[in-house]
Amino acid sequence: MTMEQLHALFLEHPKICTDTRKITDNCLFFALKGPNFNGNEFAGEALKKGAAYAIIDEEEYNASGQYILCQNVLETLQELALYHRKQSKAQIIGLTGSNGKTTTKELINAVLSKKYKTIATKGNLNNHIGVPLTLLSIEKDTEIAIVEMGANHIGEIAFLCGIAQPDFGYITNFGKAHLEGFGSVEGVIQGKSELYDHLMAHGKYIFMNGDDPIQLEKLGGYIKKMGFSTENHQYYNIQCVEANPFVVLEVEGTRIETLLIGTYNFPNCCVAVLMGKYFNIPLKDIKTAITSYQPQNNRSQIIDKNGLKIILDAYNANPTSMRAALENFSAMDAKEKTLIIGDMFELGQTAAEEHQAIADLAENLGFNTVFLVGENFFGAKTSLNKFKTFDALKEHLSKNPLEKGMVLVKGSRGMALERVLDLL
């Protein structure tokens, strides 16, 4: 079957499934493989549950006309996504960075959907499978697609750009994330910059943070760009009025109050404003979109519970986002502050050093109480409270419950620190 024929089949059955637990009627089931599973083995089950066709890559499972045999299912999915993207008239905005990608994506989508028919990456489906699935969710009337791209190795963003072929792009920042894969901060900069490299090589439009020295250097002489800045008059001026705890910005004399905490969310709001201006959305609509956006999924959520004001930022963490969260928490007005932070993953050989640095920072910022959770933090040299496991923390809090003040909860996804809510 040619790609043109497969795409025609996809247009008849425009729902893609890769998990037999989520089969929808008349979908196309792509039998992907993983380290511990072989999707070909589940193709028959997918068809029984209502899939129209199953795309497989092992001859022995090719039992009827409902099976489509290809060379490699993953590559076929990616090629189909690229083919579909080329047929679409939608403009693609590529988005990557070390921190804040998902919040930024949601803010941009909130703003642009005020005027355009948009789609955006669902959740964090931002890898070599998620990006194709996002592109395949583009419908005939979609005008703009915001495609989040994640990576933990050099070359991944370039590969994803080859599939998505973005018309626009923005990098949130360059931080100490996925150091195990990138090798160093320099590796992170090189890897994330592949988005801007792709856009510049193809003469596409770039949005940028005019206060980020790395972006300023990278995009110095590039003409097709638009930036925001708090002080550089070459770019669109946006001011951070306050972040105590919620970010408030000022744009063209208009005050925009958000439900996002922390100065680290300020640039995420700024680029949403910037893109709104570029796509000719009235400032009053931009303001409405940003002020009504409410973070979810354990990202900078504020929860009032049993006399405590809890900042739940437990979706993920790396040294850069952790430092920003701690410094922001330190600057907030509260008589009593408790810090509960968990291990940061994927730091490779720098893990011990980076966890020690965060423990030192937590100690120096003078919080009333600090709880460090996880094996890496447990190995840090500090006088702060340390717990090797979550269960150890649980036991402590059951005997010594927190009764008042503000609490920040932050850690890598694998720590699942949102479980702390049940203990407070």
pLDDT in tens, 382-420: 999 999 999 999 999 999 999 889 999 999 989 999 999
pLDDT average, residue stretch 313-323: 86
Q: How many domains does the chain have?
A: 3
253 pLDDT above the threshold of 90: yes
Closest by Cα among 122, 150, 123 to 134: 122
* pLDDT at residue 243, as a whole number: 85
* pLDDT at residue 75, as a whole number: 97
**For residue 56, is it within any domain?**
yes
Do residue 37 and residue 111 come from a single domain?
Answer: no
Q: For residue 110, is it left (φ>0), alpha (ψ between -120 and 50) or beta?
A: alpha
248 pLDDT above the threshold of 70: yes
Find residue 34's DSSP bridge partners: 37
> Which CATH number do you get for residue 36?
3.40.1390.10
Could you tell me the two tokens for 111? Answer: 């703003």
Do residue 377 and residue 408 come from a single domain?
Answer: yes
Could you tell me the two tokens for 72? Answer: 């490699």
Do residue 190 and residue 280 come from a single domain?
Answer: yes
250 pLDDT above the threshold of 90: yes
> Which CATH number do you get for residue 367?
3.90.190.20
Do residue 220 and residue 346 come from a single domain?
Answer: no
**For residue 207, is it within any domain?**
yes
* pLDDT at residue 307, as a whole number: 87
Give the DSSP per-residue string, 246-305.
Answer: EEEEEETTEEEEEEEESGGGHHHHHHHHHHHHHTT--HHHHHHHHHH----TTSSEEEEE
Which of residues 295 and 390 earns the better pLDDT score? 390
The share of the chain scoring above pLDDT 70, in percent, equals: 98
Q: Per residue in 343-387, pLDDT tens?
A: 999 898 889 999 999 999 999 998 999 999 999 999 999 999 999
Phi, psi for 351 (deg, rounded to 5): -55, -50
pLDDT average, residue stretch 332-339: 89
Do residue 145 and residue 198 come from a single domain?
Answer: yes
* pLDDT at residue 181, as a whole number: 64
Peptide bond into 14 cis (omega under 30): no
Do residue 143 and residue 68 come from a single domain?
Answer: no
Do residue 27 and residue 47 come from a single domain?
Answer: yes
Q: What range does the domain containing 50 cover?
A: 3-77
* pLDDT at residue 357, as a whole number: 95
The answer to which of 102-111, 171-180, 209-218, 399-408 has the lowest mean pLDDT is 171-180
**For residue 258, is it within any domain?**
no
pLDDT average, residue stretch 195-222: 95
Find residue 386's DSSP bridge partners: 372
* pLDDT at residue 373, as a whole number: 96
**Final residue in a domain of this structure, among 57, 77, 97:** 77
pLDDT average, residue stretch 101-121: 96
Q: How confident is the model at residue 131 (pLDDT cuts 50, 70, 90)?
A: very high
* pLDDT at residue 297, as a whole number: 67
Q: Per residue in 62-107, pLDDT tens?
A: 989 899 999 999 999 999 999 999 999 999 999 999 888 989 999 9
> The tokens 């995009």 sit on which residue?
219
**For residue 406, is it within any domain?**
yes
38 pLDDT above the threshold of 90: yes
**For residue 165, is it within any domain?**
yes
CA dihedral 110, 115, 121, 124 (to 10 degrees): -10
* pLDDT at residue 130, as a whole number: 95
* pLDDT at residue 263, as a whole number: 86
Taking the C-alpha atoms of residue 420 and residue 340, their distance in angstroms, rounded to an integer, is 9
Do residue 35 and residue 134 come from a single domain?
Answer: no
Say if CB 206 and CB 224 are below 8 A apart. Answer: yes
Taking the C-alpha atoms of residue 160 and residue 138, their distance in angstroms, rounded to an integer, is 16
Which of residues 243 and 270 earns the better pLDDT score? 270
Give the C-alpha distances (Å, rounded to integers) separating 223 from 62, 235, 355.
53, 13, 41
**For residue 384, is it within any domain?**
yes
* pLDDT at residue 239, as a whole number: 96
Provide the 10 A C-beta neighbour count for residue 26: 13
* pLDDT at residue 180, as a whole number: 66
Do residue 281 and residue 317 come from a single domain?
Answer: no
Q: How confident is the model at residue 144 (pLDDT cuts 50, 70, 90)?
A: very high
**Final residue in a domain of this structure, among 20, 49, 77:** 77
> Which CATH number do you get for residue 188?
3.40.1190.10
177 pLDDT above the threshold of 70: no
Do residue 284 and residue 305 come from a single domain?
Answer: no
The answer to which of 91-95, 199-203, 317-321, 381-385 has the lowest mean pLDDT is 317-321
**Final residue in a domain of this structure, among 77, 111, 138:** 77
* pLDDT at residue 178, as a whole number: 66
Do residue 40 and residue 73 come from a single domain?
Answer: yes
Give the DSSP per-residue string, 371-424.
Answer: EEESHHHHTS--SSEEESSHHHHHHHHHHS---SEEEEEE--GGG-GGGGGGG-
Give the C-alpha distances (Å, rounded to integers) separating 203 from 118, 194, 198, 200.
23, 14, 9, 5
Which of residues 195 and 1 earns the better pLDDT score? 195
* pLDDT at residue 298, as a whole number: 65
**For residue 255, is it within any domain?**
no
Do residue 336 and residue 393 come from a single domain?
Answer: yes
**For residue 316, is it within any domain?**
yes
114 pLDDT above the threshold of 90: yes
